[in-house]
Amino acid sequence: MAKNKEPAFVEHITPRSEDFSQWYTDVILKADLVDYAPVRGCMVIKPYGYGIWELIQKEMDARFKATGHSNVYFPMLIPESLLLKEAEHVEGFAPEVAWVTQGGTEKLQERLAIRPTSETLFCAMYSKWVQSWRDLPMKYNQWCSVMRWEKSTRPFLRTSEFLWQEGHTIHATPEEAQEETLLMLEVYREFSENVMNIPVFTGQKSDKEKFAGARATYSMEAMMQDGKALQAGTSHNFGTNFAEVFDIQYLSKDGKLEYVHETSWGVSTRLIGALIMTHGDERGLRLPPKLAPIQVVILPIAAHKPGVLDKATELAKTLEAAGLRVELDDRDTVSAGWKFNEWELKGVPLRLELGPRDIAQGQVTFVRRDTLEKGQLPLEGIARAARDLLEEVGRALYRQAEEFKDAHTYIARNMEELTEGVQTGFVRASWCGCRECEDEIKEKTTATSRNMPFDQSDMPSDVCVCCGKPAAKVMYFAKAY
């Protein structure tokens, strides 16, 4: 057999190196994460894809609770008058709002927006609920879907309706609100690195790129394997901007009426897109162990031979008892070779093969999805060994992503270097801070400002990469999804 030929399964997925976009589409469809819905721009998230989202929710929600937040549910419809209250906010979202204009057979007196985000609704309710400083802070979160009438869509990255969580909090002081804003960004960063195994750039957005109605927006930006940026989570500080418009006031300790300071923060099913584009390879998905709906797949080999299936079932039970998410693939309708490729496409982090030879020697054959490294483990103590291996897979995925990120992060001192850098990655540059330069950079390179790192100490240059005037900030630039 010709060893240098590509294996047959490669024909089923467009090579990642050849066409990254098509590869992405092929992988999500073939791994059975989503399907296109009959509604324009909408997708159905299928069981395997939704399983990933459920695990994201579970991990994320525990972190929200641990930082003192409670879950609530707000309606999906927003009266037009409410949405129109904050001018900057409306301007930002108006072009992509879907409207309900009729109820049953009657035309509505006032149009209702299908929520593109819920700041205005939260504000309306907060203004009813807050009386005194004793009511503060209020720290709520909701898991829901929102709708934005996007012109061009891609599964998980940009769809008309998408699932997310939106946290909305109000505080007595600016200091508390800022602390909350940065705390939740930190929650997102920790989650991304430890649960998704994705390194991120955290920092503050420019005025141009900040959220409509926010005083300050912070983001985490992840680098995809084509070098483009994916905004993976945002945290906003509104100051008293919305409070003044919606009249959210409280009576302070010394008896004065004060406006509350408000924050909001969110992540969405876009994170699943980030997983795919960060870790995926030519064979398909490589899921981080903490988010894999199936962490270990067990393949009985020559399952018709006596004892094999029993032993495999026993192995599955042992691992399940140890708290692992296990699938025993005992299908007799497809060959072992087929199963190998299928589970690799679906990104299961660890595969255990159990055949007559393994059983005779009291061992199991393992294959790591991240490296495809193959070896043997004793059946004795297998649960512990499997758990250790899964942890190592997670660490290895992170290391690999981090190496890629570091190798594709460049320093630019002039426009030539910036232009070249954003072709394959992120560019760290000094910036004067003015909108004109940001626009010019986008015009010339199609790259946008991503965020300004918190550590501003290491300036690439003391003049702006674009206009040559004195530099004010270190900014990352990249092409973005």
Partner RNA sequence: CGGGGUGUAGCGCAGCUCGGUAGCGCACGUGCUUUGGGAGCAUGGGGUCGCAGGUUCAAAUCCUGUCACCCCGACCA
Q: Which residues contact 284 (CB under 8 A, 6 or more apart)?
A: 13, 27, 30, 31, 344, 345, 346, 347
Binding mask 158-197 for RNA (x = CB under 7 A): x-----x---------------------------------
Among 6, 17, 21, 68, binds RNA (CB under 7 A): 21
Site for RNA contains 154 (CB under 7 A): yes
Q: Which of residues 255-294 bind RNA (CB under 7 A)?
A: 266, 268
Site for RNA contains 40 (CB under 7 A): yes
- Give the span between the Cα atoms of 196 and 290, in whole angstroms: 7
Q: Which of residues 111-130 bind RNA (CB under 7 A)?
A: 117
Q: Which of residues 77-106 bind RNA (CB under 7 A)?
A: 92-93, 95-96
- Using a 10 angstrom Cβ sphere, with 0-12 exposed, 13-18 middle and 19 or more buried, the burial of residue 336 is middle
Return the amino acid letter for 416: E
3-state secondary structure of 475: strand
Among 7, 104, 255, 306, binds RNA (CB under 7 A): 7
Q: Which residues contact 455 (CB under 8 A, 6 or more apart)?
A: none
Supply φ then ψ for residue 311, to 5 degrees.
-65, -40
For tokens 């060959």, what's the residue? 335
Q: Is the peptide bond before 460 cis (omega within 30 degrees of 0)?
A: no
Q: How far is the CB of 115 from RNA (least distance, A)?
A: 11
Residues belonging to the chain: 481
Among 90, 207, 325, 356, binds RNA (CB under 7 A): 356
Closer Cβ to RNA, 262 or 344, answer by number:
344
Among 234, 241, 263, 430, binds RNA (CB under 7 A): 234
- Give the span between the Cα atoms of 139 and 160, in whole angstroms: 28
**Stretch of 125-133, 251-259, 351-359, 403-411 contacting RNA, by CB under 7 A:** 351-359
Residues that bind RNA (CB under 7 A): 7-9, 12, 19-22, 24-25, 36, 40-41, 92-93, 95-96, 117, 150-155, 158, 164, 209-212, 231, 234, 266, 268, 301-304, 332-338, 340-342, 344-345, 353-359, 365, 367, 372, 374, 442, 446, 480
